[in-house]
Amino acid sequence: MPSLRELGLDQNPSMHPLTYPGQSVPGSCLLVGTWLYPLLYTPGSEVAEWSIEGGDGPLGAMRSRRRTVGMALRTQNASPMGERRPVLAVGSNASSGQLAYKYASWATDHIIPITSVRITGLAVAHSAHVSKPGYVPYLPVRSPLERDIELNALWLEAAQTQRMDETEPNYRRLSLRDLRAGNGTVRLESGDRVHTATLYAGRWGVLRLTPGGARVPATTQSRIFTLLSSQEWFQNIVPESLNGPEAAMWALGQDARRRGRVRQEMAERHLVTSDDLLV
């Protein structure tokens, strides 16, 4: 199996904010350092028993005819599936390049099982703040529509979860049991239900473009900055926005004071609404 660079999945939004949320991993897979291995599920089996495809990279020494997630975790001296809990990835956490970036400082290769899941009662919108790299990030919101959306679940061990929490100062991790997002049912590709998932909810509310207006659904950074740049208050804070989204993002990424002003103006102009997640 090729590395993230060979697959074109190594770019991360923290270094390239215009690409936010980054390129999501292609289906269920096992991330080992900067290598990505596709997973094949077996109906009725736990994720630890799912099969791994590809034989190069860190797992190249595994000689078993059928290699499973559980076997890979053991050979890498990583925490077993029984000690991991799924975190739903909304935004750049679904990007393998961003995950590799967040865990790059670890002394050994991080290893993260990633599974595609479907959940009812959630949608994705924009947070009412600008992140440190300069993009306007995504966040989960309650959706009144009984429609499934597809997300990635990151199966993290305790230390990985702690590291993820440290990289998300503008979010708080909540259990699905604390939310009123539909019925909160999360299902794997195999159809099996996941009972212990968490996700990161935003701290600053949800962006809307007019007082009393609808939430801005998740879109590209080019689009969201074009929409913001059409408003005079935003132009006054970020005059670089007249030169296009990339210029605005670069300027905000260099200036924490102006990022704070944008967030404050959003709140004072009533361009912030609730995610409706909490019970």
7: which residues sit within 8 A by CB, 6+ positions away? 36
The CATH class given to the 4-202 domain equals alpha beta
Residue ranges of the chain assigned to CATH 3.10.490 = 4-202
Contact present, 141 and 206 (Cβ < 8 Å) = yes
Q: Can you give the pLDDT at residue 59?
A: 83
User: Taking 80 as the threshold, does the pLDDT of residue 132 lie above it?
Assistant: yes
228: which residues sit within 8 A by CB, 6+ positions away? 136, 209, 234, 241, 248
Phi, psi of 168 (to 5 degrees): -125, 60
- pLDDT interval class at 34 (50, 70, 90): confident
pLDDT tens string 148-206:
899 999 999 999 999 999 999 999 999 987 775 555 678 898 888 888 899 999 999 99
> Which CB contacts under 8 angstroms, 24+ apart, belong to 34-38?
34/3, 34/4, 34/5, 34/10, 34/100, 35/1, 35/3, 35/4, 35/59, 36/1, 36/2, 36/3, 36/4, 36/7, 36/9, 36/96, 37/1, 37/72, 38/1
Q: Can you give the pLDDT at residue 64?
A: 65
- pLDDT interval class at 97 (50, 70, 90): confident
Q: Can you give the pLDDT at residue 144?
A: 77
Phi, psi of 125 (to 5 degrees): -135, -170
Q: Can you give the pLDDT at residue 207?
A: 98
Q: Can you give the pLDDT at residue 183?
A: 57
User: Taking 70 as the threshold, does the pLDDT of residue 8 lie above it?
Assistant: no
pLDDT tens string 41-77:
988 889 999 999 877 778 877 766 688 999 999 988 8
Tokens 């979860």, residue? 161
Q: Element (H or E) spanning 265, and its range?
A: helix 256-268
**In 8-45, alpha helices (H):** none
